[in-house]
């Protein structure tokens, strides 16, 4: 692998090399069509695992544990954080997000965040994150991430083994696209039912939002980064979904960090995802991420209750 990237953060280059090397390995396995069977286990979150979930988790641990600047690694696939050195950085990962989508050929990916001096769950909050983003395992191996306040997109070239990374320029796009699973709508909070029906119905000559849902957060977020929109995974009055499905530390905060770096915004309905206190490593949170105007509008519906 060849990664020609210089982080603005001290001693972070090795962390990126470790993350990118693991992503290449996982993508290589996926491209061969391996690991696409249900595993005999389930993960810390109680989700079914496919074999590639386990392969992905191990790939990240293998590369990250060799970097002397990585202190702890947190993974969706493990109950507790694992100490790897006394270095300054702690990394939290969803090593294979959207694994069930991978089974049917929809792009999956990996989500990562890097924090400084994070030794326990409460330290992994959005005020403390330094780097965050995601890899996409699709037609190509791609990455979208923010290194501090600078956002980048990149693609891996299989033939040369090289990554090309480019900074994002200009304003975040703002297409009227809503990414949400409509399955729970009868048990969503009333304000959300109102928000969604007001924006999806063509009334009074107003063009309705388009609706798109990959059920693969990395794919939905890639579309948002490139075209704009609102990504939503709300809480619902249904057992197990009271605070949604997505995880605060290794899904919501890294994605929100990237979108904020691009000029967008995020909320759980009441406050920015980057302001939420963290109680548990695997805690769930209602997630709304999008351009500023859409988040402001959504929060005004939420405030009405
Ligand atoms: O967190 C796992 C995940 O697969 C996300 O990638 C995706 O956004 C979401 O779950 C899909 O959930 P559902 O299957 O409820 O639509």
- Is residue 3 in a domain? no
The pair phi, psi for residue 260, each rounded to 5°, is -65, -40
0.85 exceeded by the pTM?
A: yes
Task: Report pLDDT digits (tens) over 46-100.
Answer: 667 778 888 999 999 999 999 999 999 999 999 999 999 999 999 999 999 988 8
Q: Which atom of ligand 1 is the closest one to the Cα of 247? A: 1
Could you tell me what percent of the chain has a pLDDT over 70?
96
Do 140 and 207 lie in one domain? The reply is no
Residue 173 has pLDDT above 70, yes or no: yes
Do 184 and 162 lie in one domain? The reply is no
Task: Report pLDDT digits (tens) over 196-248.
Answer: 999 999 788 889 999 999 999 999 999 999 999 999 999 999 999 999 999 99
Task: Give the count of domains, the chain.
Answer: 2
Q: Quick one: DSSP state of residue 154?
A: E
> Would the CA dihedral through 43, 214, 223, 198 be positive or negative?
negative
- Is residue 2 in a domain? no
**CA of 98 relative to ligand 1 center, distance in Å:** 6
- Is residue 5 in a domain? no
Residue 305, class by beta-carbon neighbours within 10 Å (0-12 exposed, 13-18 middle, 19+ buried)?
A: exposed
Do 19 and 72 lie in one domain? The reply is yes
Residue 42 has pLDDT above 70, yes or no: no
Q: Quick one: DSSP state of residue 2?
A: B
Do 50 and 110 lie in one domain? The reply is yes
CA distance 245 to 224: 19
Q: What pLDDT shows up at residue 112?
A: 98
Pocket of ligand 1, candidates 181, 185, 211: which has the most ligand atoms within 8 Å of its Cβ, to mutate? Answer: 181
Do 250 and 147 lie in one domain? The reply is no
Do 41 and 110 lie in one domain? The reply is yes
Do 70 and 108 lie in one domain? The reply is yes
Do 29 and 146 lie in one domain? The reply is yes
Residue 288 has pLDDT above 90, yes or no: yes
- The average pLDDT across 105-110 equals 94
- Is residue 114 in a domain? yes
> Within its chain, how far is the Cα of 181 from the centroid?
17
Q: What pLDDT shows up at residue 108?
A: 96
Do 42 and 99 lie in one domain? The reply is yes
Asked if residue 215 has its Cβ within 6 Å of ligand 1, the reply is: yes
**Last residue of a domain, which of 140, 167, 194?**
167
The residue count of the chain comes to: 305
Residue ranges making up the domain that contains 267: 177-304
- The average pLDDT across 124-128 equals 98
Q: What pLDDT shows up at residue 43?
A: 65
DSSP letters spanning 90-141: EEEEEEEETHHHHTTT--EEEEEEEEES--SGGG-STTSEEEEEEEEESSSE
């Amino acid at each position: 692998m060849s990664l020609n990237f210089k982080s603005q953060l001290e001693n972070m280059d090795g962390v990126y090399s470790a993350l990118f090397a693991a992503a290449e390995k996982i993508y290589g396995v996926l491209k061969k069509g391996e690991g696409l069977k249900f595993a005999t286990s389930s993960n810390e979150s109680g989700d079914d695992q496919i074999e590639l979930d386990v392969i992905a988790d191990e790939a990240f641990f293998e590369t990250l544990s060799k970097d002397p600047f990585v202190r702890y690694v947190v993974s969706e696939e493990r109950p507790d954080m694992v100490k790897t050195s006394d270095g300054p950085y702690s990394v939290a990962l969803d090593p294979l997000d959207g694994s069930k989508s991978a089974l049917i050929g929809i792009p999956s990916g990996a989500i990562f965040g890097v924090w400084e001096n994070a030794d326990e769950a409460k330290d992994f909050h959005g005020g403390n994150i330094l780097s965050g983003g995601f890899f996409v395992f699709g037609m190509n191996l791609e990455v979208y991430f923010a290194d501090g306040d600078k956002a980048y997109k990149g693609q891996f070239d299989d033939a040369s083994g090289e990554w090309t990374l480019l900074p994002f320029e200009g304003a975040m796009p703002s297409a009227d696209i809503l990414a949400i699973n409509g399955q729970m709508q009868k048990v969503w909070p009333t304000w959300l039912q109102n928000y969604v029906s007001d924006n999806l119905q063509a009334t009074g000559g107003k063009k309705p939002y388009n609706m798109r849902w990959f059920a693969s957060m990395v794919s939905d977020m890639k579309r948002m980064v490139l075209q704009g929109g609102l990504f939503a995974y709300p809480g619902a009055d249904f057992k197990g979904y009271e605070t949604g499905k997505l995880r605060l530390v290794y899904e919501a905060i890294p994605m929100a960090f990237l979108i904020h770096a691009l000029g967008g915004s995020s909320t759980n309905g009441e406050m920015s995802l980057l302001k939420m206190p963290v109680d548990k490593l695997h805690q769930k949170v209602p997630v709304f991420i999008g351009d500023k105007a859409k988040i402001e509008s959504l929060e005004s519906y939420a405030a009405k209750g």
